[in-house]
Chains A and B, each alone.
Chain A
Amino acid sequence: MSLARSADHGAAPAPSASAGTAVVGGTDRASPAVHAIELRKCYRDIVALDGLSMTVRRGEVFGFLGPNGAGKTTLVKLLLGLVRPTGGEVMVLGAPAGDRETRRRIGYLPELFRYQSWLTAREVLVLHCRLMRLDRPRWRDEVDNALRTVGLADRGNDRVGTFSKGMQQRLGLGVALLGEPALVVLDEPTSALDPVGRHDVRAVIRGLRDRGTTVFLNTHLLAEAENVCDRVTVIDRGRSVASGTMAELVGAEDSVRMRVTGLAGRWWQPLERFGRWIQEPDWLLVDGIPAGQVPDLVAAVVGLGGRVEAVVPQQPSLEDRFLELLGDQ
């Protein structure tokens, strides 16, 4: 199993003046979407981020995973300039985090999504068009598109105060999509949504990836990350504990479960070369089987007179790997 432990330095080019890369007004397309180096953030005695290093490439859906209190939201706030780092450095879209002009190209759905309850959904979106200084002729299309994308087209003229939590979160997603941002930061974007809403959000995220937008998905819902992310970083206690693609993180299958009848005597002896055999009620589990050996295993079992009724490769889940990683800490 290959797993990139800790930070993936060098996975993408570092932003940088020292490398001679041209950075003009924070619009350098060659720089990573996010690049953090030894990032540290303390709130008095509490260390929220402890030397975090990571890179998010342009155009990918990046999952930022960790248990509650791991420092995920702190990093999001650092990316947007809502808080300042205690140490280290973080660059966003080629400019220092918090850079005002760069924030024009970032869409953000906060974890605590609250919008002006006395405004209508359409007015909230227009307000953000103003704050982003989008050209006025674009506002109508931007607002209509956002409302349609998040499924609120028929509620645009209703006050936000009348919305359910889920609808407010949808509105927040719409706000984050305004102005075709280069980077969309979603902090727990499905926390208030029902299964249909979660499905819709996944579709929106895939749509963003298709048009080349980088998505920074901050979540502790592992299924969500497993479904849409190209790469993930797992953090715990403010430090990166693993990083890579989903396949790198989870690994290939290395065990198989079989339902077999008709085997007799010391049948397992010739089969031990395939791995460790564990008898379960109705099933046999073969653990540690080498990659690509499952057909050979099935043939060997049949050769010994066994009748193979089912073969289920065992794929470790992200949750298993996540718990394993946190356990290691």
Chain B
Amino acid sequence: MNLAIVRRSSASLTLTVARLTITEALRRRLVLAFVGITVAVVGLSAWGFYRLSHGAGPTITSGEVRLALPTAYILFMFMFSFVVALSASAIASPAISGEIESGVLHAVAARPVRRAEILLGKWLGLAALLAAYTAVVCGLEYAVVDWSSGYLAPDPVPAAAFLFGEGATLLTLVLLLSTRLPTLAAGVIGVAVFGIAWLGGVVGTLGGAFHVTALDSAAKVVAYVVPTNGLWQAAVYQLEPSSYLIRQLAAQNERGNPFLITSAPSAGYLAWAGVWFVLVLGAGVVSFGRREL
């Protein structure tokens, strides 16, 4: 068979599985549930930002309000980053193991489909859902905050992209775990890894602020082993206006603030995040290919 035809056929099967994955999320009302929760939270944030920018008391200066807006904004985005990460873990953990446990995968895998096509199709479908969700969440939040308080982050699109990167990283890891572990174990481990990575970032911030080299080194190791928090910090950096950075740095009592990121991620680190993603996805393909059903 012609190589081009084989590739086209393989891509077509991968897209078939991806479409099936998206259809499942839509018909099981997963998307509807997330949209409902998101609209409620975004609505609350609109009210909060409006009150913050228009209803500050007489003892609060406009400068302090300008400082509070990015802080509140980053905290809201942290909440959304948490939701994105948890969602990634929740949708990826049953993707393979759940279908093995239920038996749905047996009929599919017995067809002339490569295991790699199934896994990549699942990843593609889930990543598309995650990307759509991240885009909707970030777009809504940017628009609502801009409307209610006049504040707009300096680089909203790269920030959203890094937020998606964080979720996609966890999604890929949990999908790998799902090829070997039961659904619950894969999901719990995914969330725990996300938490550890975030905590590693906090430890690194404290280590840097108080010049504790051991903490700083440990945080760097964690950031390379699981780059979710590194990508979150990259998103935060894109959300911070320069005036905010200067003021925060000037304030000594802000030392060790885990929500203050003073430098952009290095190109080397971002390249590593890309390599990490390829390695973990490749490990997932190999692991599922060897899995006996």
Contacts and interface: CB of A to CB of B under 8 A. Distances in A.
Contacts of B16: 127, 130-131
Interface in A87-106: 100-101, 103-104, 106
Interface stretch (A6-14, A107-115, A144-152, A315-323): A107-115
Tier of interface size on chain A: 20 to 34
A103 B108 CA distance: 11
A101 B112 contact: yes
Nearest to B26: A118
Given A103-B111, A103-B112, A127 B103 contact: no
Contact of B103 (A80, A110, A130): A110
Nearest to B16: A130
A84 B289 CA distance: 11
A100 B115 CA distance: 11
Nearest to A128: B111
Dominant SS among interface residues on chain B: helix
Interface in B95-135: 102-104, 106-114
B213 interface: no
B13 interface: yes
A133 B14 CA distance: 12
B257 interface: no
Contacts of B13: 130-131, 133
A132 B112 contact: yes
Contacts of B110: 80-82, 103, 106, 108, 110
B7 interface: no
B261 to A, nearest CB: 41
Nearest to A172: B107
Contacts of B113: 100, 131
Contacts of A155: none
A83 interface: yes
Nearest to B29: A118
Contacts of A113: 103, 107
B102 A104 contact: no
A77 B23 CA distance: 28
A54 interface: no
Contact of B112 (A84, A104, A114, A118): A104
Contact of B27 (A81, A118, A133): A118
B104 A82 contact: no
Interface in B184-225: none
A77 B28 CA distance: 30
B152 to A, nearest CB: 39
Contact of A112 (B12, B20, B106): B106
Interface string B18-58: 00100110011000000000000000000000000000000
Nearest to B15: A130
A28 to B, nearest CB: 18
Contacts of B9: 133
Given A82-B109, A82-B110, A115 B104 contact: yes
Given A119-B23, A131-B112, 15 more contacts: A81-B110, A84-B292, A104-B111, A104-B112, A106-B110, A108-B107, A112-B102, A113-B107, A116-B24, A118-B27, A128-B111, A130-B13, A131-B13, A131-B113, A132-B111
18 contacts: A82-B106, A100-B113, A103-B110, A103-B112, A110-B103, A110-B107, A110-B110, A112-B102, A112-B103, A115-B104, A116-B20, A118-B27, A128-B111, A130-B13, A130-B16, A131-B112, A132-B111, A172-B107
Interface of B: 9, 12-13, 16, 20, 23-24, 27-28, 102-104, 106-114, 292-293
Counting from the closest, the 9 A-B pairs by CB-CB distance are A112-B103, A131-B111, A118-B27, A114-B103, A83-B292, A82-B293, A80-B110, A103-B112, A110-B106
